[in-house]
């Protein structure tokens, strides 16, 4: 199969319609809470591109203010010049001049979360099929205390470790993934949440889980649980917090200093039997296709056919400040055909 037919084959199969075997039924205690990512999805790509520029400008100024001139310079240079492969109506690929890899950089975070999705989606799908488990999105919260971010993270992670040792947990969950989300309230208290994709063995009463979380934390029973109907979307929602663990626009110099002190803090991980499964997982040809979109778009060069309309791609060079405007042009010309998952 040549590259184009692979791409077309992939598109026609579509990412948004998983096989029926991967879909789970509706449950009674569906959480109606509007998640951060649902709000984000309503904004256009041009708006989001503009926000990323603002966020990076803010981070650069904070870094320079703290005397972290080198870091400020890296963030400023990251994605400052772009090679955009486009047919004029779609963007097939964006190649940046430089990537800073700073954990709070919104451009680098997006790439990191796409890498996580490509890596974990095939493993999750295989794990679910093999073990006949259904995924749920669980958000664990804790009481607010006057403490540092590091203490807040340590406290919730320790409580989660205790939860995993409990009989109830092991009877009902067969492992999963976790990621961290940080927020800060107007009183300056850190709120740390754990977002968990849990592979559920069997149905249970949420009140029992609240009781277990209370036993693990000593003082918190607040959690949210909702079924994941499509694992690709569920994973996408959870890894979003890896690229964007907090609202950086409300971030001050002290927050950045504190964050720089968290250097080796992990933001995403696996647990339980899913963790062992990932260590030994070897993708079959079919599984590999799940993560292939990324590598296919990586092979595209000028002159290739646009994966969405077959028109030839050309290489447009622009600065980061010109990108939102280019998105706007594309949105105006083909509002319904904007590719959801691309840049």
Give the dihedral sign, CA 247/252/255/261: positive
Residue with smaller CB distance to Zn ion, 53 or 222 = 53
330 binds Zn ion (CB under 5 A): no
Residue with smaller CB distance to Zn ion, 209 or 338 = 338
179: phi then psi, degrees, rounded to nearest 5 = -145, 160
Pair 313, 303: CB distance under 8 Å: yes
87 binds Zn ion (CB under 5 A): yes
Rule CB under 5 A: choose which of 45, 50, 52, 90 binds Zn ion: 90
Q: Which residue has the tokens 């149905």?
A: 203
136 binds Zn ion (CB under 5 A): no
Pair 199, 133: CB distance under 8 Å: yes
113: phi then psi, degrees, rounded to nearest 5 = -70, -30
105 binds Zn ion (CB under 5 A): yes
Residue with smaller CB distance to Zn ion, 146 or 309 = 309
Residue with smaller CB distance to Zn ion, 56 or 155 = 56
309 binds Zn ion (CB under 5 A): yes
CB 62 → Zn ion: shortest distance, Å?
A: 15
CB half-sphere exposure, 203, CA atoms < 13 A:
6
CB 223 → Zn ion: shortest distance, Å?
A: 33
Residue with smaller CB distance to Zn ion, 278 or 342 = 342
Q: End-to-end CA distance of the chain: give it in Å, rounded.
A: 26
| DSSP code of residue 249 | G
62 binds Zn ion (CB under 5 A): no
CB 53 → Zn ion: shortest distance, Å?
A: 12
Applying CB under 5 A, the span of 38-46, 102-110, 236-244, 284-292 interacting with Zn ion comes to: 102-110
- For residue 55, what is the enclosing H or E element? helix 45-65
Which of 67, 32, 36, 78 has its CA nearest to residue 244?
A: 36
CB 10 → Zn ion: shortest distance, Å?
A: 15
Q: Which residue has the tokens 């799908």?
A: 125
82: phi then psi, degrees, rounded to nearest 5 = -130, 145
Residue with smaller CB distance to Zn ion, 70 or 158 = 70
Residue with smaller CB distance to Zn ion, 51 or 287 = 51
CB 250 → Zn ion: shortest distance, Å?
A: 20
Applying CB under 5 A, the span of 107-115, 193-201, 236-244, 322-330 interacting with Zn ion comes to: 107-115
Rule CB under 5 A: choose which of 22, 71, 91, 108 binds Zn ion: 108
93 binds Zn ion (CB under 5 A): no
- Dist CA 15 CA 141 (whole Å): 31
Helix, strand, or coil here: 76?
helix
- Dist CA 150 CA 33 (whole Å): 27
Q: What does the per-residue mask of binding to Zn ion show for 66-85, with x meaning CB under 5 A?
A: ------------x-------
104 binds Zn ion (CB under 5 A): no
DSSP assignment of 292-338, as one string? HHHHHHHT--TTSBPTTT-PBPEEEEEEGGGHHHHHHHHHHH-GGG-
Applying CB under 5 A, the span of 60-68, 95-103, 132-140, 143-151 interacting with Zn ion comes to: 95-103
100 binds Zn ion (CB under 5 A): yes
CB 88 → Zn ion: shortest distance, Å?
A: 7
49 binds Zn ion (CB under 5 A): no
Tokens at 12, concatenated: 């026609």
User: How many residues lie near Zn ion (CB under 5 A)?
Assistant: 11
List Cβ neighbours of 212 (8 Å cut-off, separation of 6 or more).
Answer: 163, 166, 168, 169
Return residues touching Zn ion (CB under 5 A): 78, 87, 89-90, 100, 105, 107-108, 306, 308-309
């Amino acid at each position: 199969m040549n590259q184009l037919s692979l791409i077309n084959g992939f598109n026609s199969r579509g990412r948004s319609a998983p096989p029926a075997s991967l879909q789970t039924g509706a449950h009674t205690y569906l959480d109606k809470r509007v998640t951060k990512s649902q709000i984000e999805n309503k904004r256009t790509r041009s708006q989001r591109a503009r926000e990323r520029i603002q966020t990076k400008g803010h981070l650069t100024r904070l870094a320079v203010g703290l005397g972290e001139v080198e870091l400020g310079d890296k963030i400023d240079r990251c994605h400052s010049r772009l090679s955009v492969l486009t047919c004029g109506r779609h963007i097939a690929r964006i190649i940046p001049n430089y990537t800073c890899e700073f954990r709070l950089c919104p451009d680098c975070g997006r790439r990191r979360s796409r890498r996580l999705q490509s890596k974990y989606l095939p493993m999750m799908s295989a794990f679910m099929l093999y073990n006949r488990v259904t995924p749920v999105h669980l958000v664990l919260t804790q009481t607010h205390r006057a403490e540092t971010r590091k203490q807040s993270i340590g406290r919730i992670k320790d409580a989660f470790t205790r939860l995993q040792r409990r009989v109830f947990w092991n009877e009902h969950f067969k492992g999963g993934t976790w990621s961290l989300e940080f927020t800060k309230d107007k009183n300056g208290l850190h709120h740390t949440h754990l977002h968990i994709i849990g592979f559920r063995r069997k149905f249970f009463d949420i009140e029992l889980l609240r009781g277990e979380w209370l036993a693990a934390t000593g003082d918190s029973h607040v959690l949210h649980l909702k079924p994941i109907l499509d694992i690709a979307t569920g994973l996408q929602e959870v890894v979003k917090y890896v690229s964007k663990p907090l609202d950086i626009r409300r971030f001050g110099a002290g927050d950045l200093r504190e964050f720089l002190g968290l250097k080796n803090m992990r933001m995403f991980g696996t647990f339980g039997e899913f963790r062992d499964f990932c260590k030994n997982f070897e993708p079959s040809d079919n599984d590999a296709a799940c993560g292939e979109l990324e590598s296919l778009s990586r092979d595209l060069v000028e002159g290739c056919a646009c994966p969405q309309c077959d028109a030839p791609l050309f290489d447009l060079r622009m600065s980061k400040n010109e990108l939102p405007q280019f998105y706007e042009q594309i949105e105006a010309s083909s509002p319904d055909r904007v590719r959801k998952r691309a840049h």
